Amino acid sequence: MYRRTVQIAVAELRRAARASDVLEKLRSLEVAEQKLEDALWLRPEKAGERFPDGLREIRRSRERTLTADALPATERLLEGAEKDAPERAEMVRAAGDLLALLDHYLPEDDRVGALDARFRQLGGERPSYQRITPLRELYHRPAEGAGCMVLLGGVLVVAPFVVWLLVR
């Protein structure tokens, strides 16, 4: 499971590097970050210093993408929607998706608040931010020695039957 989680993280980082769509890039960075955190949770002894450094770099990249790409893209989408373009509803929806990420990661930024006000004037309903569920919330590690206890319990259950078969 650890190996597959790391493979997914690397694939998402590659996808983010190739992405020309800002929303796709941000979502890929989120998945990569969560998968690295999952791998760190699964095997902390294997992660070493590489994973925390990688997580810091992903966060820096996301911050740059949000400020340099997502804010201007949202602005362009809203400008297009204000001009009554034929794709107005699609532009408002895409702006809402970007605003959900911007508001989650840059809640104190005044530019995000201004864009959100313009978005609401256009009648947009912003979707809520959808976080990626960490593996630690889906799976629970067994306690130390739990495997031995299960094996011992199985032996204790099967032993009387084996003895009964041998005595009979």
Statement: residue 156 has pLDDT above 90:
no
**DSSP calls for 83-132:** TT-TTHHHHHHHHHHHHHHHHHH-TT-HHHHHHHHHHHHTT--PPPP-PP
| Percentage, residues of the chain above pLDDT 70 | 95
Kindly report the pTM of this predicted structure.
0.76
> Scanning the structure block, which residue is given the tokens 């998706």?
97
> Scanning the structure block, which residue is given the tokens 């929607």?
81
Q: What is the maximal distance between C-alpha atoms in the chain?
A: 90
146 pLDDT tier (thresholds 50, 70, 90): low
| Dist CA 51 CA 161 (whole Å) | 50
The domain ranges of the chain are: 2-141
Mean pLDDT of 156-167: 79
Q: Are 32 and 18 in contact (CB under 8 A)?
A: no
Mean pLDDT of all residues in the chain? 86
Which residues are CB-neighbours of 147 under 8 A, at least 6 positions away?
Answer: none
> Residues 46-103: pLDDT tens digits?
777 778 888 999 999 999 999 999 999 999 998 988 887 688 888 889 999 999 999 9
- Compute the radius of gyration of the chain from its Cα atoms: 25
